[in-house]
Amino acid sequence: MLEAAGPAPESDGESSSVRAGARSARKKKRGLFRRTGIIPPAIGIAALLVALVYLASYLTTSNGSGAASMFGAIDSIGHSRQVALLEQERSTIIEMDAADKTLTIDAKPAMANPSSLEQQAAQSSGGSSGGGTGITAAAPPANPTAAEADGKSLLASFGFNDTTQWTCLYNLWERESGWNVYATNPVSGAYGIPQSLPGDKMASVASDWQTNPITQIKWGLGYIKSIYGTPCGAWQNEVDLGYY
């Protein structure tokens, strides 16, 4: 009996040593975590991941407050600016085109129909003018040939050489009015052989400026002398710019 009970203490010793070894391993692991500081960062990373997942979920909602709607709004701003710039450029082009057409018309006066002008002058001058002003008789017909001869003969009285300056004067007023005393530009209102603008400036020479070619020629030669010096100077400006 005494011999059979002998091994029991050895078995209890082995169990105790196993349990002691397990506790020691757990203590070692806890000590390792504490020494290396792994637990706090791990918790922080986990919290950050949760927050990111929540934020992504919020931004991708379909109620208009998500990332898609935000990016859509930003994109629409860009498109709106592009459309506005294109519209502004289109308006500028339209305005420039209209201005160019207006300049072209003003710079190249149209020739009035002599027959129509004569009829208008005759209709407006019939009878006496009760106030004693204006045209009191039928306007004489336009005579460009006679006006040209008057223009050439008047050059010398303004100090111009009728040999060197006549061709320039002829070309200038041939282009402007065709030497028609009744020529009217329907756009600008310029009038007469020299295309005075306005026509009543020629009243500084005489009151018959509407019908008398000599009155118009005298005013025109005075204008040319004061602005361009000579008929050839005025003609050169006409060639370069389309007006004088």
pLDDT in tens, 67-121: 555 555 555 555 566 667 667 766 666 665 555 444 434 444 545 554 555 555 4
pLDDT score recorded for residue 48: 76
* Ramachandran class of 191: left when φ > 0, alpha when ψ lies in -120 to 50, beta otherwise: beta
pLDDT higher at 226 or 108? 226
At 152-204, the pLDDT tens digits run 999 999 999 999 999 999 999 999 999 999 999 999 999 999 999 999 999 99
**Exposed, middle or buried, 218 (CB in 10 Å: 0-12/13-18/19+)?**
buried
Q: Is residue 227 helix, strand or coil? A: helix
Closest CA to 191 of 163, 219, 166, 167: 219
Tell me the C-alpha distance between 60 and 62, whole Å.
7
Give the bridge partners for 191, in sequence order. 184, 196
Kindly state the tokens that stand for 177.
């009015």
Cα–Cα separations (whole angstroms), residue 233 to 81, 160, 182, 224, 236: 51, 12, 25, 8, 5
Q: Is residue 195 helix, strand or coil? A: coil
Q: Under a CB-based contact definition with an 8 Å cutoff, are residues 125 and 139 in contact?
A: yes
- pTM greater than 0.75: no
At 15-74, the pLDDT tens digits run 555 455 555 555 555 554 455 455 666 677 777 777 777 666 665 554 545 555 555 555
Phi, psi of 21 (to 5 degrees): -65, -40
pLDDT band at 227 (very low <50, low <70, confident <90, very high): very high
pLDDT of 241 over the 70 cut: yes
Query: Which residue blocks in the chain are alpha helix, DSSP H?
Result: 8-36, 39-59, 67-107, 114-124, 144-154, 166-176, 213-227, 231-241
**In this structure, which amino acid lies at residue 229?**
G
Tell me the C-alpha distance between 97 and 189, whole Å.
23
Closest CA to 185 of 119, 113, 99: 113
Rg (CA), the chain: 52
Q: Under a CB-based contact definition with an 8 Å cutoff, are residues 242 and 107 in contact?
A: yes
Tell me the C-alpha distance between 205 and 223, whole Å.
11
